Amino acid sequence: MFLKNEYLESIKDKKIKILYEIVSNHLNYVRKLDTVDSLNIYIKDILSFINGYTPKDKKFKQLRKYFLYAPLNLDFLYQYTKIKIEYLENPKLRRLDDLMIYFEKQSLFGMLLFITDPKAQIHLEPILLLSKIDKIYETLLHLNELKQTNQIHLPIQLIEDYGLEIVLDKNVYLMNDRFFGVWNLFYIKLNQLLESLKPKMILFDDLHQELIFNYLSIRKDDLNHFQKTLKK
83-87, 91-95, 228-232: the lowest-pLDDT one: 228-232
Mean pLDDT, rounded, for 95-108: 97
pLDDT at 123 over 90: yes
Q: To the nearest 10°, report the CA torsion of 41, 37, 80, 78.
A: -30
What pLDDT, on the 0 to 100 scale, is given for residue 166?
94
Q: What is the pLDDT of residues 195-216, one digit of tens each?
A: 999 999 999 999 999 999 999 9
Q: How confident is the model at residue 221 (pLDDT cuts 50, 70, 90)?
A: very high
Q: Which residues contact 119 (CB under 8 A, 6 or more apart)?
A: 205
CA-derived radius of gyration, the chain? 18
Task: Break the chain into its structural domains and give their ranges.
Answer: 10-90, 116-232
What pLDDT, on the 0 to 100 scale, is given for residue 177?
95
Pick the closest to residue 141 from 106, 190, 203, 93 (CA basis): 190
Query: E-strand spans in the chain?
Result: 166-167, 172-173
Mean pLDDT of all residues belonging to the chain: 95
Mean pLDDT, rounded, for 207-230: 93
Q: What is the pLDDT of residues 32-88, one digit of tens each?
A: 999 999 999 999 999 999 999 999 999 999 999 999 999 999 999 999 999 999 999
DSSP, res 74 = T
What pLDDT, on the 0 to 100 scale, is given for residue 3?
87
What pLDDT, on the 0 to 100 scale, is given for residue 4?
85
Q: What percent of the chain has pLDDT over 70?
A: 99
Q: Which residues contact 38 (CB under 8 A, 6 or more apart)?
A: none
What pLDDT, on the 0 to 100 scale, is given for residue 5?
82
What pLDDT, on the 0 to 100 scale, is given for residue 229?
85
Mean pLDDT, rounded, for 146-155: 95
Mean pLDDT, rounded, for 92-111: 97
Mean pLDDT, rounded, for 6-23: 94
What pLDDT, on the 0 to 100 scale, is given for residue 232?
61
Angle at 141 between CA 104 and CA 181, to 5 degrees: 90
What pLDDT, on the 0 to 100 scale, is given for residue 230?
80
What pLDDT, on the 0 to 100 scale, is given for residue 168?
85
Pick the closest to residue 171 from 201, 148, 142, 202 (CA basis): 148
